[in-house]
Structure 1
Amino acid sequence: MTLNRRDFIGTTAAAASLLSAPMVQGASHGRPKVVVVGGGAGGATAARYIAKDSKGEIDVTLVEPTRSYYTCFFSNLYIGGFRDIESLAHSYGTLASDYGVNVVHDWAVGIDRDAKTVTLAGGSVLPYDRLVLSPGIDFVDGAVEGWDLSAQNAMPHAYKGGSQTELLKAQIMAMPEGGTFAMVAPPNPYRCPPGPYERVSMVAHLLKANNPTAKIIVADPKAKFSKMALFQEGWGTHYTGMIDWIGEDFGGGNVSVNPDAMTVTIDGEETKVDVCNVIPAQKAGRICEMAGVTDGNWAPVSGHTMQSRLDENIHVLGDATNQGDMPKSGFSANSQAKVAAMAIRGALTGSSVFPAKFSNTCWSLIDTEDGVKVGATYEATDEKIAKVDGFISQTGESGELRKVTYEESLGWYDGITSDMFG
């Protein structure tokens, strides 16, 4: 399966028809209102498709605090030196100017499900007929002993795009000769990208070029991980002796950190490190908890419509969901957004709604032009989003095939960001 920019937009646009558009309170003159909270791969896509396909029948408001959105996908390539940070930044101007989306740069701080309103930090209250939540992830409190958000500058997570990613790369570049980089990897399920193991590869690539005697330690609470054989083959080929992966069987889940002393303790053994990337256990973005639509950590949804199983007027997308077999990826969120958009438009305008279908591919770069991928197609059942079939790169593939896979990912990036932001 090979995708370029045109193929991506064409195939994904055909997968679902879309949605609507709300405005700030009192401005919609009777049109149904949709408020979208979160402007990433799920939220921006949903806002664009609702506005585009409803042709003015629905009022769409997108609530997103940042004016420039930095993608998590491809942020690892910035760390590895394959992208610059500006290439990851995208604005919401086209959504507003070309599609009529009312873009509000503010934080959503409250949801009243009975009144069907969203309260913003600035004091505005937005009414909705349908609400779309696509807030991404937050971290489980206490998931890594010794670490909380107050330590994110000393030990970055770099799991939200932008400044955290820049900070982590700066710390890696400042490591002393022969220094030690440590990663505390997350348990399942976790947002990917930015995948931990692609990140390890990109850190190794950067260090091999700039600090070749440096070491990398990965403390992992899991016994195995996605594309494990491919990554381990690549690490052995490109970064011999540099990476020490410590899985569950060897104490990788028994970890604590001390940000003040810059130490990591793995199964009772303390190690002084120069950089520590802590990626804690994850949960749905906090606004889902505030809305009361989580099962504790994630938001359960119906795969047919992406509607919350706790409130039919709320749709939840992407990383925040408990939906079944799909990974927590930008591609998944984009695919789910189109299904939700179609369902919302059907509910609010009576337009046709077709059976939900989904797809996902996750690419990873191991070294220069050494790209691998895994992906699948999915369909909605009454119980979950279920995997139909899948594919994965194989160990021992030729350099030419790996190069084609990497180039395919570049086309996908251009395609999905165009699909999100117009």
Structure 2
Amino acid sequence: MRRRDWILAGASLTACATVRAQPSWRRARVVVVGGGIGGATAARYLRLWSDHQLEVVLIDPQATFVSCPLSNLVLGGFTTLEALSRPMDALDAQGVHRIRDHVTHIDTERRLVLLAGSDPLRYDKLIVSPGIDLDWSSVQGLRDAHQSGQILQAWKAGPETLALRRQLEALPDGGVFALTIPEAPYRCPPGPYERASVVAAWMKQARPRSKLLVLDANPDITSKAALFKKVWAERYAGLIEYRPLHKAVAVETGRSAGGVVRFELQSPERADVLNVLPAMHAGPLARTTGLAGSGPAPGRWCPVHYQTFASPLAADVHVIGDAIQVAPAMPKSGHMANAHAKVAAAAVLSSLAGLPPDDQPMLTNTCYSHVDGQQVIHVASVHRYLAQEKTYRTVPGSGGVSDGPTALEARYAWHWARTLWSDMLG
């Protein structure tokens, strides 16, 4: 196993290193809601670290996990969704009891999870990994344009990724593809810029007279800015046009794909294919069950106690992944969700054993970005929990960014992804 893969698999392992199998684990049930990277990792490690004694129930309707990391390559025609998919039943061999259903409500007072097609499920501890949802109201007209299939996002890998690829394939040579980026925070900080790069790589070969507009609500590229700018200048000059401080507020469409996007301050832009990414917030379950705050206007993200990822709004509930209000310099990424899951799983097991949680958990993160189908750049970081500040801070001197794109980094990216999938599913 490569050292970077060992770091991925072993994050927060020390949190459970001193906890031996406990009789209390045989009497407890931990329910995990959400089968993405965070939820699946939590379910697997709860079983692993309890010596397969704890009853763990994972609730998620999907039979197959489809990876968001690397899914931009599908848009560029460099891989397939099948290559990014793994069966969820791999968790069955770990002893995780999977229920393929939708959660309709969480009764945190009675510690019950209510399901659409099954009886309510009692829990002793609950880990919720609700993911993100797109805020359609942040861009006027976008909900209708999405429902009609005219303007797609493909920010959750799956059928919509393939539909956006078909729109790109229909782009005429000399046409315009426009990608709008919301204000941070959003899922996967470098993701939109990677998308621009791999789509540009395809356009350079297949649609060389076309234009790719990157219309960013932020004042600058939010991740690996110098590297992306260098790549765009050297490889995609005249093809990619980057414009910061372009906050999309409305879209207008006709009878076919594409249309017009309007901005808060700047002039509108017309494109043959529009990929408008709106603002994002915690997934619907987090907002309807009060984990993002209560009232008619819940918060955008879920607050947590960072040491354990326990919710301050509900006892015996932990929230992990992209849905949380992140600590300083903590990205919303798949790798980080994997790390959250291990800290939360360790904290749950320690609590059930009557032991205190790890007083200094650590998280690691690596984000790989393709700049075409064969070369990659990365950013990495290590985050330590500081008890006196009750938050995470990056460890000075840790991590960093690539010197430049290489084919070797592309091999690392695929090894990283396969290790992540194996780590979460077994």
Scaled by the length of structure 1, what TM-score is found?
0.90
Q: Aligned to 1:235, which of 232, 235, 246? A: 232
Counterpart for residue 261 of structure 2: 264
- Look up the match of 1:103: 98
SS at match of 2:137: coil
Matching of residue 148 in structure 1 with residue 155 in structure 2: no
For the residue of structure 1 that corresponds to 2:371, the secondary structure is: strand
Does the 8 Å CA contact 1:32/1:57 hold for their aligned counterparts?
A: no
1:218 aligned partner: 214
* Secondary structure of 1:240's aligned partner: coil
The answer for the alignment partner of 2:113 in structure 1 is 118
1:301 counterpart = 2:304: yes
Match of 2:314 among 288, 311, 321: 311
Amino acid at match of 2:69: F
Alpha-carbon offset, residue 8 of structure 1: 4.6
Q: Which amino acid aligns with 1:318?
A: G
- Deviations for 1:382-408, whole angstroms, at most 9, x for unmatched residues? 43222223433356x4x6xx2222221
Task: State whether residues 369 and 376 of structure 2, in contact with CA within 8 Å, keep that contact through their aligned partners in structure 1.
Answer: yes
- Deviation, structure 1 residue 90: 1.3
Quote how far apart the aligned CAs of 1:259 are.
3.1
Residue 346 (structure 2) aligned to one of 342, 349, 359: 342
Alpha-carbon separation, structure 2, partners of 1:146 and 1:391: 41
Q: Counterpart of 1:282?
A: 280
SS across alignment from 1:292: coil
Q: Deviations over 1:197-254 (max 9, x none)?
A: 0001111111112111111112211001211111111011111111111111xxx125
**Segment drifting more, 142-151 vs 299-308:** 142-151
On the 8 A contact 1:4/1:415 being kept in 2, the answer is no
CA contact (8 A) 1:36 1:132 kept: yes
CA contact (8 A) 1:130 1:314 kept: yes
Q: 2:59 aligns with which of 43, 57, 63?
A: 63
Aligned to 2:296: none
**Distance in 2 of aligned mates of 1:130 and 1:259:** 47
Match of 1:14 in 2: 13
Give the 5 Å matches for 1:19-418: 31-96=27-92, 98-148=93-143, 151-152=146-147, 153-192=149-188, 195-224=191-220, 225-248=222-245, 252-260=246-254, 262-266=259-263, 267=265, 269-295=267-293, 296-325=299-328, 326-350=330-354, 353-354=357-358, 355-382=360-387, 383-389=390-396, 390-393=398-401, 397=404, 402-418=406-422
> In structure 1, what is the Cα distance between the partners aligned to 2:107 and 2:131?
20
Residues 336 and 365 of structure 2 are in contact (CA less than 8 Å); yes or no, is this contact kept in structure 1?
A: yes
Q: For the Cα contact (< 8 Å) 2:145–2:253, is it kept in 1?
A: no
Once the two structures are superposed, what CA deviation does each residue of 1:87-127 show, in whole Å capped at 9, x if it has no partner? 1111111211x211111111111010111111111142111
- Quote the Cα distance in structure 2 between the aligned partners of 1:223 and 1:257: 21
Percent identity between the two aligned chains: 36
For structure 2, the residue ranges without an aligned partner over 5 or more in a row are 294-298
How far apart, CA to CA, are the structure 2 residues paired with 1:321 and 1:384?
Answer: 13
Q: One-letter code of the match for 1:317?
A: I
3-state SS of 2:286 partner: helix
Do the aligned partners of 1:73 and 1:194 also contact (CA within 8 Å) in 2? no
Q: Secondary structure of 1:81's match?
A: coil
C-alpha distance in structure 2 between counterparts of 1:268 and 1:9, whole Å: 43
Mapped partners of 1:360, 1:155: distance in 2: 32
**Change in 2 beyond 3 A, CA 1:39/1:223:** same
Q: Which amino acid aligns with 1:381?
A: L
Shift of 1:53: 1.8
Q: Partners in 1 of 2:274 and 2:79 — Cα distance?
A: 22
RMSD over aligned Cα atoms:
2.3
Count matched residues. Answer: 404
Q: Per the alignment, do residues 348 and 41 of structure 1 end up closer, same or farther by CA in structure 2, a change over 3 Å counting?
A: same
**In 2, Cα distance between the equivalents of 1:15 and 1:156?**
43
1:378 is displaced (CA, Å) by 0.8
- Stretches of structure 1 that go unaligned for 5 or more consecutive residues are 20-27
TM-score (norm 2): 0.89
Give the residue type in structure 1 aligned to 2:361.
A
Quote how far apart the aligned CAs of 1:4 are: 5.4
Which residue type is aligned with residue 280 of structure 2?
Q
Single out whichever of 31-40 and 252-261 deviates more from structure 2: 252-261
For residues 264-287 of structure 1, what are the alpha-carbon distances to aligned partners after superposition, in whole Å with 9 as ceiling and x for unaligned? Answer: 234453333211111111111111
User: How many angstroms does 1:351 deviate by?
Assistant: 6.2
Q: In 1, Cα distance between the equivalents of 2:361 and 2:144?
A: 38
- Counterpart residue type for residue 185 of structure 1: I
Task: List 4+ stretches of structure 1 deviating above 6 A.
Answer: none
What is the CA–CA distance in structure 2 between the aligned matches of 1:377 and 1:133, rounded to whole Å? 24
Q: Which amino acid aligns with 1:280?
A: P
Q: Is the 8 A contact 1:323 1:384 kept in 2?
A: no
**Matches of 1:91 and 1:379 in 2, distance apart?**
33
2:391 & 2:383 partners in 1: Cα distance?
Answer: 10
- The separation in 1 between residues aligned to 2:192 and 2:44, in whole angstroms, is 30
Alignment partner of 2:45: what SS?
Answer: helix
Per-residue deviation at 1:350? 4.0
Q: Structure 1 residues 104 and 149 mapped into 2: Cα distance closer, same or farther (>3 Å)?
A: farther
The one-letter code matched in structure 1 to 2:107 is D
Give the secondary structure class of the aligned counterpart of 1:177.
coil
- SS state at 2:399 partner: strand
Following the alignment from structure 1 to structure 2, what is the Cα–Cα distance between the partners of residues 338 and 360?
13
2:182 touches 2:248 (CA, 8 Å); kept in 1?
A: no
